[in-house]
Amino acid sequence: MVYLREHAMSFKEGLLLLQKIIEEALVSLGIFAPFIYIIIYIIRPLILFPTSILTPLAAIVFGPFLGWIYTYIGETIAACVAFLVARYFGGDLVSRFNTIKRLDVELQEHGLRTVLFLRLVPLFPFDVVNFGLGLTSVKFKTYVIGTMLGVIPGLTAYIFLGASLLSGAYIIPTVVGFVVLSYIAHILRTKNKSIIKKLS
């Protein structure tokens, strides 16, 4: 237990140090700081930098409210960029992956429901879903709506996670958020076994 506590504190201290460095860099940018953060988030999928690291940092640097807003904007635009890159530069990759072909069939029958399912149930990493859906025939409008709705629970939970590193007041909301996410994922898995079967 002592070992775990010491390493947990080291991890927290490391993040706080990183927060201080990023915060100082962003402060020097003044009013441009949010724009730089959003731009970083937009190009993030192209280098496959994990959202689970960048999103909590937004809460640390900007605070939970503004951090949520800036990340929501960046995450939505990033998802659209990845989708369009895959759609217009993916060529005939869809024909090489049976999983994507099966997913395409499901999307043709239940487009919005399937996009929401993939956003709420972590079967695949966020960016894999972005690029993968870009290779299917799902309508861009359907993809955007499903993404904008589907990212909200996970985004909120990770923002709380970042905020909890600064204030103990956010620890309970963080735990509750991840418990709710797990419960939603369990319910959706149970009710959408046909989608899981096609993706397996």
Any residues with CB less than 8 A from the CB of 105 and at least 6 apart, and which?
198
pLDDT, residue 147, reads 93
Task: Report mean pLDDT in 10-residue bins for the chain, 200 residues.
Answer: 43 63 73 87 81 82 90 94 87 65 75 84 80 86 92 87 81 80 74 62
pLDDT, residue 150, reads 87
Global pTM? 0.78
pLDDT, residue 7, reads 42
- Residues, the chain: 200
pLDDT, residue 51, reads 77
pLDDT, residue 185, reads 74
CA distances in angstroms from 97 to 18, 54, 100, 125, 200, listed in the order given: 39, 30, 5, 17, 12
The alpha-helical segments, DSSP class H, found in the chain are 2-27, 33-47, 51-62, 64-89, 98-109, 111-120, 126-134, 140-164, 171-191, 193-199
pLDDT, residue 33, reads 84
Distance CA 44, CA 64 (A): 20
CB 107 within 8 A of CB 137: yes
The burial of 83, by beta-carbon neighbours within 10 Å (0-12 exposed, 13-18 middle, 19 or more buried), is given as: buried
* Tokens found for residue 117: 């399912």
pLDDT, residue 194, reads 64
